[in-house]
Amino acid sequence: MGISGTPADGHQAGADGQPQAKQDVRREVLAARRELSAAAVEAAAAGMLDRLGALLAGRRGLTVCAYVPIGREPGGPDLPERLAARPAVARLLLPVLQPDLDLDWAAYTGPASLAEAARGLREPVGPAQGRAAIAGADLVLVPAVAVDRSGVRLGRGGGSYDRALARVSLATPVAALLYDTELRDRLPAQEHDQRVHVVVTPVRTAWLRPVPGWSPPDV
């Protein structure tokens, strides 16, 4: 899902009062994304799906929370359909942006279960599962502008995913989909910023923080 003030970029526009360093990274990354061709976005999405497939290999019956990329967001617009087709995924939940910018969740049951929504988003139209539904996920995939080596995630500044990720079980891996240049050595961080465990790019899966049963033993 893109949560955005502008449909082409996705996700919430930076809020007033955000540290300048965060705003600078956002501008840089989003400008680079705007230069990507449709073919480059599709090729990158295919690489990410291959790596997600490896991550899911041998698993069954999972509840996965993901999102609907818009514009040039990593993962491509068909991410939900491709995820739902994986044998490991029994239930796919997608976010529904609330008036207070928090996230509710609803099930993805196919392309017809999505509808255009405010801010250029595509959201599931089925029954709301509640904001706490993410707490029952076995795997959470999130959008990001950038992530650093300690797992700090930089989003658009609206705080939707920081609130949602605070509800995720400690045993559940949180994965961010990024283009290769968006994994950084260090990003500015604030106390409320939620961290991810793993970054998936078109060419690599980078574990940053361990999750028993998911991450390699040397993480």
| pLDDT tens figures, 77-124 | 999 999 999 999 999 999 999 999 999 999 999 999 999 888 888 999
Q: pTM of this prediction?
A: 0.90
Tell me the average pLDDT of the chain. 91
Looking at the domain assignment, is residue 14 inside a domain?
no
Looking at the domain assignment, is residue 7 inside a domain?
no
- Expressed as residue numbers, the domain containing 161 is 20-207
- Could you give the CA distance from residue 169 to residue 116 in angstroms, rounded to a whole number? 30
Domain count, the chain: 1
Task: Give the residue-averaged pLDDT of 59-74.
Answer: 96
Looking at the domain assignment, is residue 187 inside a domain?
yes
Report whether pLDDT(62) > 50: yes
Looking at the domain assignment, is residue 121 inside a domain?
yes
Provide the pLDDT confidence category of residue 18 given band limits of 50, 70 and 90: low
Looking at the domain assignment, is residue 8 inside a domain?
no
**What are the CA-CA distances from residue 174 to residues 39, 116, 117, 140, 208 (Å)?**
27, 26, 25, 5, 11
Q: Identify the CATH number of the domain in which residue 78 sits.
A: 3.40.50.10420
- Cα dihedral 207, 210, 211, 216, rounded to 10, equals 60
- Could you give the CA distance from residue 137 to residue 101 in angstroms, rounded to a whole number? 20
What is the structure's pLDDT at 17? 54
Looking at the domain assignment, is residue 82 inside a domain?
yes
Looking at the domain assignment, is residue 15 inside a domain?
no
Percent of the chain at pLDDT > 70 equals: 92
What is the structure's pLDDT at 1? 52
Looking at the domain assignment, is residue 78 inside a domain?
yes
